[in-house]
Amino acid sequence: MVAALALSGVVAALATIGDSPEAERLLPKTVRPEPLAIAFGDALLPAPASYVYVERFQRGDTIAALAARLAIAESEVRALARLAALRHLRPGTSVSAEVTPEGVLLSLAFLGARDRLVRIERGADGALVARETVAALARWEEAKSAEIRSSLFAAADAAGVPDSVALQLADIFGGDIDFHRDLRKGDRFSVVYEVFAFEGRALRPGRVLAAEFVNQGRTHRAVWFQGGESGGYYAPDGTNLRKAFLRSPLEFSRVSSGFGLRRHPFLQTWRAHQGVDYAAPLGTRVRATGDGIVEFAGRSGGYGNVVVLRHGGGQQTLYAHLSGFARGIRSGARVAQGETIGFVGQTGWATGPHLHYEFRVGGVARDPLRIALPAAQPLPAHALAAFREQAAPLLARLAPLAATQIAQFE
Ligand SMILES: [Zn+2]
């Protein structure tokens, strides 16, 4: 009976797990249950009442403070805090505890970091014993679609798409779409993604399996394909979606995304100053658009703090007005595509916080918004058949979604 209740406590706990917005979205909100009187023990003893409490472990919380909220007696805290299994406790994790009216802890359970299911019970000698298992999560597939009216995140919110899925979309299509400058009202997307669930409740989103993004009338499609050790996103014809350069040098986030659809007075045309300006909040992460080597990282006149990267084929990228540089960014350092190299600032000749970005080929500035970017290797011929087989049902799931979306908004 105790074990069964501890387990149901875990289920209740799951309802409030996670403090990220997406967890909030995935999981139905529950209120803290009324203390539940239950029978405990066998026929030899009169059954004392006990209560099940569910509380969230919060940022900056201590075991003692959590124990107090769970109505666990102070005398129990020392033994509890000594249990190594508590290291799996993370801020946002819900903890359920079964306690007697006197505050004696009968059992405690939570689903911690890395899906570690921790149960603490009384051993035969009365001491607290912790058991850890890896929770077996069920995997679901979810399909959603949305139209963009103000920002990608607003659209994702309206459609109930978790943040991590919206971020993956920006990542997957980041070689084709500049999510800070290219998005337009009326753009739309459909997406199929994994959801991991525990005992019948959605717990957290996983990977995007397939997606369609219609940007300024152009349709981009992507399907995840795991070929042996590594996986990647490919267009239905097997073209690799990864490009030699990302379209945007800014990290895409909920904070930076809103700037994409706005106009800023100090933004100049490319022709006027041979670069592209990105308005963004101070401190927004600036990322290397391609693999390369740091040619220069330091202060330079009107550029302020600037990073110049050298890439293959006589290509260079330049990132100016930075507030500072990321750790390890100095001349000669190797950087990978997407790696943070610095942070948006307004050093040098800048009237407000923004990133000035240049793309040069053979020393000559090119409009980064117009250059054609080479794609990474397509799927090898021998993998195409397997890819098509895997892609077909996913693309079939996207198709009716996209149609619904069009019908809905036309
Ligand atoms: Zn500029």
* pLDDT for the residue numbered 21: 42
Q: Is the pLDDT of residue 261 over 50?
A: no
Centroid of ligand 1 to alpha carbon of 266 (angstroms): 9
* pLDDT for the residue numbered 409: 47
Q: Per-residue pLDDT averaged across 153-163, rounded?
A: 94
* pLDDT for the residue numbered 269: 59
Centroid of ligand 1 to alpha carbon of 261 (angstroms): 18
In this structure, are residues 343 and 283 in contact, taking their beta carbons and an 8 Å threshold?
yes
Closest CA relative to residue 278, chosen from 367, 354, 349, 352: 354
Centroid of ligand 1 to alpha carbon of 270 (angstroms): 8
Centroid of ligand 1 to alpha carbon of 276 (angstroms): 5
Q: Per-residue pLDDT averaged across 250-274, rounded?
A: 63
Q: Is the pLDDT of residue 271 over 70?
A: no
69 Cβ contact partners less than 8 Å away, ≥ 6 residues apart: 53, 55
Q: Is the pLDDT of residue 20 over 50?
A: no
Centroid of ligand 1 to alpha carbon of 268 (angstroms): 7
Q: Which of 14-18, 90-94, 294-298, 406-410 has the highest mean pLDDT?
A: 294-298
* pLDDT for the residue numbered 225: 95
Centroid of ligand 1 to alpha carbon of 273 (angstroms): 6
Q: Is the pLDDT of residue 11 over 50?
A: no
Centroid of ligand 1 to alpha carbon of 174 (angstroms): 21
Sign of CA dihedral 6, 8, 9, 10: positive
Q: Over the stretch 352-362, which tens digit does the pLDDT of each residue have?
A: 899 999 999 99
Within its chain, how far is the Cα of 316 from the centroid? 30
Q: Per-residue pLDDT averaged across 113-129, rounded?
A: 90
Looking at every residue in the chain, the average pLDDT score rounds to 84
**Quick one: tokens of 76?**
């129990």
**Lowest mean pLDDT across 12-16, 376-380, 384-388:** 12-16
Q: Tell me, which fold does domain 2-134 have in CATH?
A: Nuclear Transport Factor 2; Chain: A, (3.10.450)
Compare 42 and 293 and report the one with higher pLDDT: 293
Q: Per-residue pLDDT averaged across 108-133, rounded?
A: 91
Centroid of ligand 1 to alpha carbon of 324 (angstroms): 17
Centroid of ligand 1 to alpha carbon of 366 (angstroms): 13
**139 pLDDT band (50/70/90 cuts)?**
very high
Closest CA relative to residue 310, chosen from 335, 297, 293: 293
- Percent of the chain's residues with pLDDT above 70: 82
| Strand order through the sheet with 340-343 | 285-287, 340-343, 324-325
Domain boundaries 137-243+375-410, corresponding CATH code: 3.10.450.350
Compare 14 and 304 and report the one with higher pLDDT: 304
Centroid of ligand 1 to alpha carbon of 166 (angstroms): 28
Q: Over the stretch 184-206, which tens digit does the pLDDT of each residue have?
A: 999 999 999 999 998 788 888 99
Centroid of ligand 1 to alpha carbon of 316 (angstroms): 16
Centroid of ligand 1 to alpha carbon of 249 (angstroms): 13
Q: Is the pLDDT of residue 339 over 80?
A: yes
Centroid of ligand 1 to alpha carbon of 277 (angstroms): 5
Q: Per-residue pLDDT averaged across 389-401, rounded?
A: 89
**113 pLDDT band (50/70/90 cuts)?**
confident
Domain spanning 247-374, CATH architecture: Distorted Sandwich (2.70)
Q: Over the stretch 278-336, which tens digit does the pLDDT of each residue have?
A: 888 999 999 999 999 999 999 999 999 999 999 988 999 999 999 999 999 999 999 99
Compare 19 and 208 and report the one with higher pLDDT: 208
* pLDDT for the residue numbered 399: 79
Q: Per-residue pLDDT averaged across 401-406, rounded?
A: 64
* pLDDT for the residue numbered 404: 63
Centroid of ligand 1 to alpha carbon of 171 (angstroms): 24
Which residues are placed with Cβ below 5 angstroms of ligand 1, an ion? 275, 277, 356
* pLDDT for the residue numbered 342: 98
Centroid of ligand 1 to alpha carbon of 364 (angstroms): 16
Q: Is the pLDDT of residue 45 over 90?
A: no
Centroid of ligand 1 to alpha carbon of 76 (angstroms): 62
**Quick one: tokens of 220?**
């981009």
* pLDDT for the residue numbered 251: 92
Centroid of ligand 1 to alpha carbon of 256 (angstroms): 18
Q: Is the pLDDT of residue 34 over 70?
A: no
* pLDDT for the residue numbered 330: 96
Centroid of ligand 1 to alpha carbon of 288 (angstroms): 17
* pLDDT for the residue numbered 8: 42
Centroid of ligand 1 to alpha carbon of 360 (angstroms): 14
* pLDDT for the residue numbered 55: 94
* pLDDT for the residue numbered 229: 74
Centroid of ligand 1 to alpha carbon of 304 (angstroms): 11
Q: Per-residue pLDDT averaged across 97-108, rounded?
A: 93
* pLDDT for the residue numbered 48: 55
φ, ψ of residue 369 in degrees (nearest 5): -80, -15
Q: Per-residue pLDDT averaged across 3-25, rounded?
A: 40
Asked if the domains at 2-134 and 247-374 fall in one CATH topology, the answer is no
Centroid of ligand 1 to alpha carbon of 329 (angstroms): 22
Q: Is the pLDDT of residue 368 over 90?
A: no
Q: Is the pLDDT of residue 73 over 90?
A: yes
Centroid of ligand 1 to alpha carbon of 246 (angstroms): 18
**18 pLDDT band (50/70/90 cuts)?**
very low
Half-sphere exposure of 283 (CA within 13 A, CB side): 1
Q: Per-residue pLDDT averaged across 164-184, rounded?
A: 93
Centroid of ligand 1 to alpha carbon of 93 (angstroms): 44
Centroid of ligand 1 to alpha carbon of 267 (angstroms): 7
Centroid of ligand 1 to alpha carbon of 345 (angstroms): 12
Centroid of ligand 1 to alpha carbon of 179 (angstroms): 18
In this structure, are residues 294 and 325 in contact, taking their beta carbons and an 8 Å threshold?
no
Q: Where are the domains of the chain?
A: 2-134, 137-243+375-410, 247-374
Q: Per-residue pLDDT averaged across 365-379, rounded?
A: 82
Centroid of ligand 1 to alpha carbon of 108 (angstroms): 57
54 Cβ contact partners less than 8 Å away, ≥ 6 residues apart: 9, 12, 13, 16, 32, 33, 94, 95, 96
